[in-house]
Amino acid sequence: MAAVDLATHPGHLARRLQQAHYLLWNSMVSEEITSPQFAVLNALVAEPGLDQRTVGERVGLDRSTIAEVVSRLGRRGLLDKVRDPQDGRRFLLRLTDEGQRTHRRLTVRTARMNQVFLAPLSADEQALFFGLIRRVADAVEDLRHPAEPAAAVPEG
C-alpha cells in the first residue's frame, strides 16, 4: 500500500496551520493568555454582558471548553460573573478593568502576529484565504448545528 499525500488532506494542513499559529501566538502575543481566552475577551468587548453560552457560540467553543476558559479568566481577575437581573439562574459576563487593559494590549500584539502569519500571501490572496477557510468553517458548524427542518406544508 502506498503512502497518501498529506498535502491533500485538509485536516493535516489545518493542524500544521494551528501549530504555526500556536508558535507565533506564544512568541508574539502571550504565553499566559491563550488564543481562545483572547477570543472570549474580544467577544465581551464587542458585546458586554453576554451570558456564557452565547459567548461560547460567538467564539466557536463548546460548552465544557467555554466553562473552563471563563473560569480561568475569572481566576486571573479579567472578567466577572454578574447575576442576570431578569433571570436569576443565569450569569452575565463582564470584563474587569484589568480585562479591558489586557484586551487592548493583546489586540496590538495580535495585529502584528497576523501580519507575520499572513506574510507569505499577497493582499488578494489573504482575502481569498479568509473567504475559503471561513466558508469551510461555517459549513462544518452547519453540520454540528443543523438548521431546524422546515415545517411541512400541507398538501391540498
3-class secondary structure for the chain? CCCCCHHHCHHHHHHHHHHHHHHHHHHHHCCCCCHHHHHHHHHHHHCCCCEHHHHHHHHCCCHHHHHHHHHHHHHCCCEEEEECCCCCCCEEEEECHHHHHHHHHHHHHHHHHHHHHHCCCCHHHHHHHHHHHHHHHHHHHHHHCCCCCCCCCCCC
Q: Tell me the mean pLDDT in the region 43-64.
A: 94
In angstroms, the CA 14 to CA 107 distance is: 24
Q: Tell me the mean pLDDT in the region 36-41.
A: 98
Find cell 493582499 and name the residue. 123
pLDDT value at residue 147: 66
Name the average pLDDT for the chain.
Answer: 91
Find cell 501580519 and name the residue. 115
Q: Tell me the mean pLDDT in the region 78-106.
A: 94
Query: Quick check: is 72 in a domain?
Result: yes
Q: Tell me the mean pLDDT in the region 4-26.
A: 95
> Does pLDDT of 156 surpass 60?
no
| For the chain, percent of residues with pLDDT exceeding 90 | 81
> Does pLDDT of 146 surpass 60?
yes
User: For the chain, how many structural domains are there in total?
Assistant: 1
Residue 15 maps to which CATH number?
1.10.10.10
Which of 1-15, 69-83, 140-154 has the weakest average pLDDT? 140-154
Find cell 502571550 and name the residue. 30
Query: Quick check: is 51 in a domain?
Result: yes
Query: Quick check: is 154 in a domain?
Result: no
> Does pLDDT of 153 surpass 60?
no
Torsion angles phi and psi, residue 58, rounded to 5: -60, -35
Query: Quick check: is 33 in a domain?
Result: yes
> Does pLDDT of 93 surpass 90?
yes
Residue 62 lies in domain? 11-144
> Does pLDDT of 112 surpass 80?
yes
Q: Cβ atoms within 10 A of the Cβ of 107, count?
A: 14
Query: Quick check: is 53 in a domain?
Result: yes
Query: Quick check: is 150 in a domain?
Result: no
> Residue 137 — pLDDT band, cuts 50, 70, 90?
confident
Query: Quick check: is 153 in a domain?
Result: no
> Does pLDDT of 127 surpass 80?
yes
Which of 1-5, 101-105, 123-127, 142-146 has the weakest average pLDDT? 142-146
